Amino acid sequence: MPMDGNMGYQSHTFEEAFLARAKWTLKFVWWPKRCVFSNQWIWLERAYCGVARWMGPGSDAVEVNWADRDDFVIWSLRRRRNE
């Protein structure tokens, strides 16, 4: 297993590692959040919530990021095209 901190994910940046590991669900955004792709505000609409769990020698960490529906669909189509 590689010792680059990505736990087996072959990514070049931490953001790519998060995107590969996250579990995405469509939720309603009640409080303002920033889109992980476009950095635009998301509020009072449906958006994708990505949750990634990072396990290490200490306590586990949970990272949560939000993505606009359109940006998420574009990203997932590009990802599938590159696979």
Q: Is residue 9 part of a domain?
A: no
Compute the distance between CA of residue 72 and CA of residue 77 in angstroms, rounded to an integer.
Answer: 9
Q: Which domain holds residue 22?
A: 15-82
User: From CA 45, how far away is CA 15, in angstroms rounded?
Assistant: 24
Identify whether 35 is part of a domain: yes
User: Does residue 53 fall inside a structural domain?
Assistant: yes
Looking at residue 79, its pLDDT comes to 84
- Residue 19, in any domain of the structure: yes
Number of domains composing the chain: 1
23 has which bridge partners? 51
Which residues is 47 bridged to in the sheet?
Answer: 27, 68
- 21: in domain: yes
| pLDDT band per the 50, 70, 90 thresholds, residue 6 | very low
- Asked, for residue 4, whether it belongs to a domain, the answer is no
Cα 37 from Cα 7, distance rounded (Å): 23
pLDDT tens digits along 11-66: 467 678 888 889 999 999 999 999 999 999 999 999 999 999 988 888 889 999 99
- Dist. CA 70–CA 9, nearest whole Å: 25
pTM: 0.77
